[in-house]
Amino acid sequence: MTINEVPQDLKYMAGGVIRDVAYAVDEDGRYQSVVSDGWAVKNDVLDLVWDDIRASCEAIREQVLRHEASPLAYHMTKNLQDVSMLAAYADIPKRKVKKHLAYDAFMQLDDRTLERYADALRITVDELRSVE
């Protein structure tokens, strides 16, 4: 593809927050890096991925409402984190994070632990306790 053919399909990359680098052939036949503001095909794939993430979050939210999972499980999924990542950010052992994914164990957590999770997830403790 030439530099003029590099896709500039704004959607997820609007506003210059996220940008892709593509490699295209310039007028001299040499490859150059070119900033792209998006590509419709990539946007479609991202739509599918985000739909799947939203469905996962909704399924976990329903489990929380039935007391089958903790709000921590919901927020962890919503923030695209796994047990290892959350454990590292909150500085809490993985085995404890796994335990706290259970509703009853989560409801017994002290304020200090809740604050550590909330800080790691960049939400308030009140938001952490809720799935609304």
Q: What is the DSSP string of 62-127?
A: HHHHTTSS-HHHHHHHHTT--HHHHHHHHT--HHHHHHHTSHHHHHT--HHHHHHHHHHHTS-HHH
Residues 108 and 57 in one domain: yes
Residues 30 and 94 in one domain: no
Q: Give the pLDDT mean for 30-40.
A: 81
Q: Dihedrals φ, ψ of 58, to 5°?
A: -65, -40
Compute CA distances 63 → 68, 73, 93, 97, whole Å.
5, 10, 24, 17
C-alpha 63/C-alpha 40 separation (Å) is: 35
- Residue 42 has a pLDDT of 79
What sign for the dihedral angle of Cα 58, 120, 103, 107? negative
pTM of the model: 0.74
Instruction: Answer whether residue 43 is part of any domain.
Output: no
Q: Give the pLDDT mean for 17-31.
A: 81
Number of domains in the chain: 2
Residue 48 host element (H or E): helix 40-65
pLDDT tens, position by position, 65-99:
999 999 999 999 999 999 999 999 999 999 999 99
- Residue 17 has a pLDDT of 58
- Residue 33 has a pLDDT of 86
Instruction: Answer whether residue 117 is part of any domain.
Output: yes
Query: In the predicted model, is pLDDT for residue 15 greater than 60?
Result: no
Which residues span the domain enclosing 8?
3-38
